[in-house]
Every structure is written in structure tokens, then in C-alpha cells.
Copies of this chain bind each other. A is one copy, B any other.
Amino acid sequence: MLTVNSLNTALLTDQYELTMVAAALADQSAHRTCTFEVFARRLPDGRRYGVVAGTGRLIEQLSDFTFGSEQLAVVEKFLDDETLDWLSNYRFTGDIDGYPEGELFFPGSPVLTVRGTFAEAVILETLALSILNHDSAIASAAARMVTAAGSRPIIEMGSRRTHEQAAVASSRAAYLAGLSATSNLEAARRHGVPSAGTSAHSFTLLHTTTDGRPDEKAAFAAQVAKLGVGTTLLVDTYDITQGVANAIEVAGTELGAVRIDSGDLGVLARQVRKQLDDLGATGTRIVVSGDLDEYAIASLRAEPVDVYGVGTSLVTGSGSPTAGMVYKLVEVDGIPVAKRASHKESRGGAKTAIRTAKATGTILEEIIYPTGAAVPETTSTARPLQIPLVRGGDPVADLPTLDDSREHLAAALVSLPWEGLGLSRGEPAIPVRFIAPDPRSPDPR
């Protein structure tokens, strides 16, 4: 039994990366200098913006992307000795730039740029996409929930609805997006996300008497005795009105909160608020949970709800569980390259991105232009979107922390045009303008 943040990550990849390396080593093309870019061709499902997340996890796992004897034993079944030898010495030595975590992205935004030899860069494709597609999908959904909740906190409690390790990454992405806490203890350990939690229905049911009668008060008393009067009591195991009465009878009017996990949450929140106030528990808060998504959260805006708990919809990206990002070769030895077959055209050439904004800070447009070309002139202020992440294979100093990324997104959301924060389906909040490489001028590098 081991507890580490990451394992060897070299086999978290598709077999074809390694067969390509084998064929490219044989004809020397493996050593050509290449640029790969990660981008999403479109946003899912009428979404107005996406949120970049996962980059930090990718950089962390990069150093564990090495081929030891255990990895080589798997791939030697289909690779030749030259390739196995190359893999055994593999360590990424190139450069990576990208949008910082917490930055908004739009269709075509080059959220990650990987430069190196073909062989060293191509084999990072699957790991990079797995992490960015998952974490960005969760953060993108979570950001909408945070907007819908306004100033009310949201607790992430969806671990049980997703893969056990995806749950940890989901908690991280949700915190990045502005959720307040998570139920997931490994996310607390691994990423420092604040954790929270009190009790489930099973705890109340456990206190069934030996002759088979419910005893909610015994359960509440046990919880308050151990966790203190500031705890949250779950009041909907039997009858909610009786549950609230029992909660205040046992804990007194200083009770921290009650939680309602089923039923018509808006109606119940109003009833429970009135009951609590009538009992004198005016400071006792109301936590609601149970199949909440951003729309359900928004629909409760006028109700006396203090805290939301979200689960399934958060960890499944609220209908869009993957961000649709791809990892495409865009440049070989300075020459722009692109696939031309139907429906999946890509734009060749390495790209630099800037975003313009009004004096008020509201963003206007994203402009993507050939890397190395002159910065496009704009009438409004423009800021670059990409930052250095890895140089010569090593993470740069002072990478953004998770809290930095959380603040970055909070500021970015404020910069969206108002319609971009709406929950309704529509076009991306700002247009993305591509400036094509000038075919007459060779790459200046």
C-alpha cells in the first residue's frame, strides 16, 4: 500500500503513439522539431465559454512519464529494440506553453502548445488530452453552477457518481471554479481543497431501536454530542417537519444547519425556514442537495437556501462530461501542417492568442495569429493568453497555484459580457478571429 500523488504515467497512453514513434525512429522523422496544439473545435451544447483546468495536474504527471522495466515489459510485445532503447531513455525535454488554469477558452483557443521532437511530443497526446478534457469539462460546468448560486456557497459531493480517481480531480476542478468545499478526503490531501461533511440517512436509520422503532432524536443527539451544535443535521429521513422539530429540540436554537436531500426543495426550504424561525432558530442555515444542476440552483435563487450540495451533475459535466479537446500537429520544422479531410479541418502553424477588452474590462474578442508574426493592432486593450509552463522539460518556477487559478477564473468570469453568464444555450460569449499565416513570408524563426 502506497500513498503518493502520482504513479508512473507512461502507459496512460494509446498504443498508436508508440508504434508511430517506432516507425518515425526508423526513418529519422522522429527527430524533426514539431509543435502540437491542444484546442476544442467547439464548445459543448450551446455553452458560452469553457474553463481551462488540469494543466497543473498534467505538469505534475510529466515527471512520472518514464519507461522502466515494468512499462517496457508491456510494450516490448509490439516494439523493436531501437524503440525500446529510446523509450528507456525517454524524458520530455521540450517546451510547453498554455492558457493558465482558470482562463476562459473559446472554439479554437490554443490552450496548450507542446514543442519538441515529434517522438517526444507525440507520446504525451493521450495523457494531456485525458487530463485537460476531464478537468476542463468539470470546471466549465462548475463555473456555471457558481454563477447560478450567486453569493451562496456550493459544496461538491459527487465522488460516488464518478470513477474513484476522477472524483479527486473533479473536486479539484470544482474548487478551481469557485465551489467552497468538497466531501472528498483525497482531494483535501492531494490538492488542499477544504473538505466538509456530517452525516447521511444511514446514521439516522442506524439509531432504530432494538424493537424496530425509528429514533431520529437519538441519532441527532449522538451527532451533536460528537460534532457540536454547529453541525448540519439531515432532517428528511422520516418526516421533514418532525425532523426539524427534533433537530431543534435536541440541538437547541444555535444549531448550525439542517440539510434537505429530497422532495421539492424550494417549497421545503420555505416551510423549513418558517419553522426554524418560529422555533427561534433564526441563525440555523438550510443546506439543500439532491440532483441539483445549474438550472435547479438558479431556480432556487428566491428561496431561503443558504448552501447547495451538488453531486452527479457536477462530476458528469452537467451533460457534457468531456471538453472535446484535440491534440494536433500544427508545425514540422517551421512548416505549418494541417489535416484536410472533410469536417475536421485544422489550421496549420503555431499560434499565439490575445484577448481584447473594453476599458471597463468586458472582453470583446479573441485574436489568434501566427506565432512569430507581429502582434495584431487593436483599438482596445489586449492581453496575451499564454504563459510558459515547461522549459527544457522542467516546470517553470512560480507556476500558478490552485488558489491563483481560482482567483484567475473569478476575475475572468467578471470580464464576460452579461449574456455570456446566462445559462441559456447560445453562441460563444465572444468571437474568435483567426489571422492566417502570410503564405509569402517564411517562418521567421
Interface positions of A (Cβ within 8 A of B): 1-4, 7-9, 11-20, 22-24, 26-27, 29, 32, 34, 36, 61, 63-64, 66, 68, 70-71, 74-75, 78, 80, 118, 122, 125-127, 129-131, 133-134, 157, 159-169, 183-186, 188-189, 195-203, 205-208, 210, 212, 218, 221-223, 225-227, 236-240, 261-263, 312, 315-316, 321-322, 327-329, 332-333, 335, 337-344
Known contacts A134-B163, A206-B34, A208-B337, A14 near B329 by CB under 8 Å: no
Compute how far the CA of A91 lies from the CA of B160 in the bound complex, rounded to whole angstroms: 21
Report the bound CA distance from A195 to B159 in whole Å. 29
Q: Report A337 CB to chain B, min CB distance, Å.
A: 4
Bound CA span A98–B443, Å: 63
B159 near A24: Cβ-Cβ < 8 Å: no
**Given the complex, which residues of B lie within 8 Å of A315, measured CB to CB?**
322
Q: Give A135 to B83 CA distance when docked, in angstroms.
A: 34
- Copies of this protein chain in the complex: 2
- List the B side residues contacting A20 at CB < 8 Å: 199-200, 202-203
Contacts of A13 in B (CB 8 A): 159, 184-186
Beyond A12-B167, A130-B161, A133-B162, 17 additional pairs, beta carbon < 8 A? A2-B2, A12-B186, A14-B183, A15-B184, A23-B199, A27-B221, A126-B159, A130-B159, A131-B164, A133-B161, A205-B337, A237-B340, A262-B342, A262-B344, A312-B322, A316-B321, A316-B322
Partner of A24, one of B26, B75, B203: B203
Contact B225 A26 (CB under 8 A): yes
Query: Of B70, B159, B166, B239, which one neighbours A341 at CB under 8 angstroms?
Result: B239
**30 A–B contact pairs at CB < 8 A?**
A1-B63, A2-B2, A3-B70, A11-B189, A12-B159, A12-B168, A12-B184, A14-B185, A17-B197, A20-B199, A22-B226, A23-B199, A26-B222, A26-B225, A27-B221, A29-B206, A61-B164, A125-B200, A126-B159, A126-B164, A130-B160, A131-B163, A131-B164, A162-B322, A165-B166, A208-B332, A208-B337, A261-B341, A316-B322, A321-B321
What residues on B are CB-neighbors of A236 within 8 Å? 341
A157, A164, A221, A337, most chain B CB atoms within 10 A: A164
Contact B225 A343 (CB under 8 A): no
Cβ-closest chain B residue relative to A78: B195
- The one of B169, B197, B261 that contacts A14, using a Cβ cutoff of 8 Å: B197
Task: Closest B residue to A58 by CB, please name it.
Answer: B164
Chain B residues, CB < 8 A from A70: 3, 189
* 7 A-B pairs with least C-beta separation: A15-B197, A16-B197, A129-B160, A163-B166, A165-B165, A202-B329, A14-B183
Q: What is the bound-complex CA distance between A109 and B65, given in angstroms?
A: 42
Q: Nearest residue in B to A320 (C-beta to C-beta)?
A: B316
Tell me which residues across on chain B come within 8 A of A71, comparing CB atoms.
3, 189
Do B185 and A237 touch (CB < 8 A)? Answer: no
Instruction: Report if A14-B157 is in contact (Cβ < 8 Å); known contacts: A118-B206, A185-B74.
Output: yes
In the bound complex, CA of A267 to CA of B201 (Å): 55
Are A26 and B226 neighbours in the complex by a CB distance under 8 Å? yes
**Which residues of chain B are near A129, meaning CB under 8 Å?**
160-161
B11 touches A130 (CB 8 A): no
CB of A124 to closest CB in B, whole Å: 11
